[in-house]
Amino acid sequence: MAEQPTKTSRKSEQGAHAKRRDRPPGPRFEMRISTKYAPHEPSEGKPLTCTDETSLKPDQLLELYRYLKLTRLVEERLVNLYRQTKVVGGVFRSLGQEATAVGTAYALQPGDFITPLIRDLGAVLVKGIRPRDIFAQYMAKAWGPSGGRDLNIHFGDMGKGFIGPISHLGDMIPVMTGILIGARMQKKEIVAVAYIGDGGMSTGAFHEGLNFAAVQRLPLLVIAEYNHFAYSTPTSLQTACRDLAEKAAGYGIPSHIVDGNDVVACYEVTKHAADYARRGGGAVLIEAKTYRRKGHAEHDDQRYVAPDEIEWWEKHNDPVDRFEKYLLEKNVAKQDKLDEIVSEVTRAIEEDCAWAESSPLPEGEKAAYGVFDNSIVPPAFRPPVLEK
Partner 1 sequence: MSTAVKKEHRSARPERGGPATMVEAIRQGIWEEMERDPTVFVIGEDVGAFGGAFKVTDGLIDEFGKERVIDTPISEGAIVGAACGAALMGMRPVAEFQFIDFISAGFDLLTNYAAKCRYRWGAGIPAVFRGPCGSGVRSGPFHSLNAEAFFLNTAGLKIVEPSTAYDAKGLIKAAIRDPDPVLYFEHKKLYRLPRLREDLPADDYIVEIGKAKVVREGRDLTIITFGAMVLTALDAAEELEKEGLDVEVIDLRTLAPLDKATILASVKKTSRVIILHEASRTGGIGGEIAALLSEEAFEWLDAPIIRLASIDTPVPYSPPLEDYYLPQTKDVVSAARKLAAY
Which residues contact partner 1 (rule: CB under 8 A)? 22, 145-146, 149-150, 154-156, 158, 163-164, 166-168, 171-186, 204-205, 208-209, 211-212, 215-217, 370-373, 376-377, 380, 383, 385
Smallest distance from partner 1 to CB 196, Å: 13
Smallest distance from partner 1 to CB 68, Å: 27
Looking at the Cβ atoms of 186 and 331, the one nearer to partner 1 is 186
Smallest distance from partner 1 to CB 69, Å: 27
3-class DSSP state for residue 319? Answer: helix
Smallest distance from partner 1 to CB 113, Å: 9
Task: Let me know: does 248 contact 255? Beta carbons within 8 Å.
Answer: yes
Smallest distance from partner 1 to CB 89, Å: 14
How far is 235 from 100, CA to CA, in rounded Å? 18
Alpha helices in 42-145 (DSSP H): 58-83, 98-106, 121-126, 131-138
CA dihedral angle for residue 115, residue 116, residue 118, residue 119, rounded to 10 degrees: 180
Looking at the Cβ atoms of 361 and 368, the one nearer to partner 1 is 368
Task: Let me know: does 61 contact 249? Beta carbons within 8 Å.
Answer: no
How far is 160 from 143, CA to CA, in rounded Å? 18
Smallest distance from partner 1 to CB 271, Å: 24
User: Residue 234 pairs with which residues in a beta bridge?
Assistant: 229
| DSSP 8-state code for residue 141 | -
Looking at the Cβ atoms of 278 and 330, the one nearer to partner 1 is 278
Smallest distance from partner 1 to CB 369, Å: 9
How far is 304 from 380, CA to CA, in rounded Å? 44
Smallest distance from partner 1 to CB 374, Å: 10
Looking at the Cβ atoms of 83 and 168, the one nearer to partner 1 is 168
Task: Let me know: does 96 contact 314? Beta carbons within 8 Å.
Answer: yes
Looking at the Cβ atoms of 185 and 240, the one nearer to partner 1 is 185
Sequence-distant (≥ 6) Cβ neighbours of residue 79 within 8 angstroms: 91, 93, 298
Looking at the Cβ atoms of 91 and 172, the one nearer to partner 1 is 172
Looking at the Cβ atoms of 142 and 380, the one nearer to partner 1 is 380
How far is 202 from 106, CA to CA, in rounded Å? 27
Looking at the Cβ atoms of 22 and 52, the one nearer to partner 1 is 22
Task: Let me know: does 75 contact 309? Beta carbons within 8 Å.
Answer: no
Closest CA to 125 of 181, 166, 196, 73: 73
Closest CA to 275 of 26, 80, 79, 86: 26
